[in-house]
């Protein structure tokens, strides 16, 4: 693959300058496997957008390309009108990312890590320290601020990663499985924080396997299957009078109706 990004089909619509995230003709292959197969997607500014799909559907790959973590083979991505792969530094200033499974600098304390993340995003030290304190309080991590991140629980690690994504006040927040391993009380607090962020004009994209959570939290949703968008729109449009989970299974397929082998039956 060359280092240059391939443009979309000239007949395709250009990226929307009004969308928080606009994707056109996005493609990514790994050897013989096509992980993302020509995705087009517009995420409206100010929306709470859910991205759902089965394991291996291409959700994480799409979000990694959209946020400048993985170079696409083809396509154009813009964040608030800024072409991500033509103006990578400018685009990254606009986005906060919580990536599932990405390692943190866990030999820092929680307070140090969030402060460092803020300074990497251009904040001066005093401002970064102040914001880190505010975020630790908001996420109920004040008592753990002086503890090394390597000693955090899985839920605490998820919360400190969210603080790092928020510290520079991004216009777009991209969260890959943000509630995995988080206890119900912390999850409720995080949902409140994200709802307030969206009400304040920010845009949230959440990738999750929890259909119920997406249906309750999000106003828009896209369903991804085998590297393509099979449905996108408002939650009500996509679920089409059904539950989002039933609509998801209908579109994606793969449900087994068999009761299992006879030896699993108790009588």
pLDDT in tens, 106-138: 999 999 999 999 999 999 999 999 999 999 998
- For 20-53, the pLDDT digits (tens) are 999 999 999 999 999 999 999 999 999 999 999 9
**Count of C-beta atoms within a 10 Å radius of residue 38:** 17
Percent of the chain with pLDDT over 70: 93
Query: Under DSSP, is residue 25 helix (H, G, I), strand (E, B) or coil?
Result: strand
Mean pLDDT of 252-262: 72
Q: At what angle do helices 154-166 and 110-120 cross, to 10 degrees?
A: 30
pLDDT at 10: 45
Q: How many CB atoms lie within 10 A of CB 119?
A: 17
Domains and their CATH numbers in the chain = 15-94+211-250 (3.40.50.300)
User: Is residue 231 within 8 Å of residue 40, measured between CB atoms?
Assistant: no
């Amino acid at each position: 693959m060359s280092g240059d990004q391939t443009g979309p089909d000239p007949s395709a619509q250009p990226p929307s300058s009004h969308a928080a995230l606009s994707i056109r003709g996005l493609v990514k292959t790994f050897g013989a496997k096509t992980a993302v197969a020509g995705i087009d997607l517009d995420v409206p500014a100010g929306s709470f957008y859910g991205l759902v799909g089965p394991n291996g559907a291409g959700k994480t790959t799409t979000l990694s390309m959209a946020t400048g973590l993985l170079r696409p083979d083809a396509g154009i991505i813009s964040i608030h009108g800024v072409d991500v792969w033509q103006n990578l530094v400018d685009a990254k200033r606009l986005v906060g990312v919580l990536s599932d499974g990405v390692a943190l600098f866990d030999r820092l304390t929680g307070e140090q890590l969030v402060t460092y993340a803020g300074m990497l995003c251009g904040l001066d030290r005093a401002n970064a320290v102040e914001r880190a304190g505010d975020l630790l309080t908001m996420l109920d991590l004040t008592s753990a601020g002086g503890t090394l991140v390597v000693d955090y629980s899985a839920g605490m690690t998820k919360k400190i990663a969210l603080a790092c994504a928020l510290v520079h006040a991004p216009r777009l927040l991209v969260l890959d499985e943000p509630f995995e391993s988080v206890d119900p009380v912390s999850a409720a607090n995080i949902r409140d924080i994200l709802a307030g962020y969206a009400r304040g004009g920010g845009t949230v994209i959440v990738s999750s396997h929890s259909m119920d959570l997406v249906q309750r939290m999000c106003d828009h949703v896209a369903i991804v299957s085998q590297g393509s968008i099979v449905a996108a729109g408002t939650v009500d449009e996509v679920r089409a009078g059904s539950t989002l989970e039933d609509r998801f299974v209908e579109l994606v397929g793969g449900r087994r109706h068999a009761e299992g082998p006879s030896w699993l039956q108790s009588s």
